[in-house]
Amino acid sequence: EAQVTQNPRYLITVTGKKLTVTCSQNMNHEYMSWYRQDPGLGLRQIYYSMNVEVTDKGDVPEGYKVSRKEKRNFPLILESPSPNQTSLYFCASSLGPGVNTEAFFGQGTRLTVV
Amino acid sequence: AQSVTQLGSHVSVSEGALVLLRCNYSSSVPPYLFWYVQYPNQGLQLLLKYTSAATLVKGINGFEAEFKKSETSFHLTKPSAHMSDAAEYFCAVNTGTASKLTFGTGTRLQVTL
């Protein structure tokens, strides 16, 4: 089954404690992205990757890091989480750069930073 | 910059009634528009997409949307609401940069008996 898998689904952590949210896709997609969803703001792109070792900032990259060492994986790293990073996070992948290409989303990771 | 605006953060309809969720876009180039649905505790699922092939686009679960360039709109409709349609709906535009989607703020649809 074609899917994007995120782990964990729920995470509560303390301020400053480094964490990683994993994302893996089994569709051999080139493009992967991370979004955060906040009430009243919709989804905003954090980082994206066009292929292995190629990443770039989205609209809200501050406080986040990513890496793309393998085509299927695109982990999101919070080196020093803060309460304003409490949010619902989604990983997405798509086949290529085409403007009409469908994005496939993971189930989401609900992060709470206390 | 391209953007979308969704009018109404909450919409409530009776079961069997018409569903109309509004989306207006702003774009300097021909837009590629999408509607996604998010059921509780789930990720986003594509409902339909506009890619300039046809102005009336049919999607899954009986939903459709019509692209109206003169009104810069891409409203989502369904003739008869079902309880299972209760979810949050997002309109999005592809900006052309690395398949980046710019989302609206979402509309939560409530369906009542």
Please give the average per-residue pLDDT across B26-55, as a whole number.
Answer: 87
pLDDT of residue B35: 96
Separation in Å, CA of A82 to nearest CA in chain B: 24
Nearest CA in chain B to A6: B43
Q: B92-108: per-residue pLDDT in tens?
A: 988 666 567 889 999 99
**Which chain A residues contact residue B101 at CB under 8 A?**
33, 43, 45, 92, 103
Separation in Å, CA of A18 to nearest CA in chain B: 25
Q: A67-101: per-residue pLDDT in tens?
A: 999 999 999 999 999 999 999 999 999 887 666 67
| Cross-chain residue pair A100–B51, CB shorter than 8 Å | yes
| Residue A22 pLDDT greater than 80, yes or no | yes
Separation in Å, CA of B98 to nearest CA in chain A: 5
Q: How far is it, in rounded angstroms, from Cα A17 to Cα A10?
A: 16
Q: How far is it, in rounded angstroms, from Cα A58 to Cα A52?
A: 17
pLDDT of residue B96: 66
Please give the average per-residue pLDDT across A96-109, as a whole number.
Answer: 82
Please give the average per-residue pLDDT across B45-56, as a whole number.
Answer: 87
Instruction: Fill in the amino acid letter for B98.
Output: A
pLDDT of residue B54: 83
Q: How far is it, in rounded angstroms, from Cα B46 to Cα A103?
A: 8
Please give the average per-residue pLDDT across A13-36, as a whole number.
Answer: 96
- Closest CB to A45: pick one of B42, B49, B100: B100
| Residue B39 pLDDT greater than 70, yes or no | yes
pLDDT of residue A57: 93
| Residue A109 pLDDT greater than 70, yes or no | yes
Q: Facing residues of B113 across strands?
A: none
Separation in Å, CA of A92 to nearest CA in chain B: 9
pLDDT of residue B98: 56
| Beta-strand relationship, A109-113 and A87-94 | antiparallel
- Closest CB to B96: pick one of A99, A106, A107: A99
| Residue A107 pLDDT greater than 60, yes or no | yes
For chain B, give the number of residues: 113
Peptide bond into A83 cis (omega under 30): no
Q: How far is it, in rounded angstroms, from Cα B80 to Cα B13?
A: 10
- Return the HEC string of chain A: CCCEEEECCEEEECCCCCEEEEEEECCCCCEEEEEEEECCCEEEEEEEEEECCEEEECCCCCCCEECCCCCCECCEEECCCCHHHCEEEEEEEECCCCCCCCCEECCCEEEEEC
Q: A36-66: per-residue pLDDT in tens?
A: 999 989 999 999 998 999 999 999 999 999 9
pLDDT of residue A99: 60
| Cross-chain residue pair A40–B49, CB shorter than 8 Å | no
Report CA torsion sign: A6, A8, A9, A11: negative
**Which chain B residues contact residue A94 at CB under 8 A?**
99
For chain A, give the number of residues: 114
pLDDT, chain B, mean: 91
pLDDT of residue A95: 84
pLDDT of residue A21: 98
Q: How far is it, in rounded angstroms, from Cα B39 to Cα A81?
A: 28
| Cross-chain residue pair A33–B96, CB shorter than 8 Å | no
- In degrees, rounded to 5, the angle at the alpha carbon of residue A38 between the alpha carbons of residues A66 and B11 is 140
Q: Phi and psi (nearest 5°) for A90?
A: -125, 135
Residues A86, A113 contacting (CB under 8 angstroms): yes
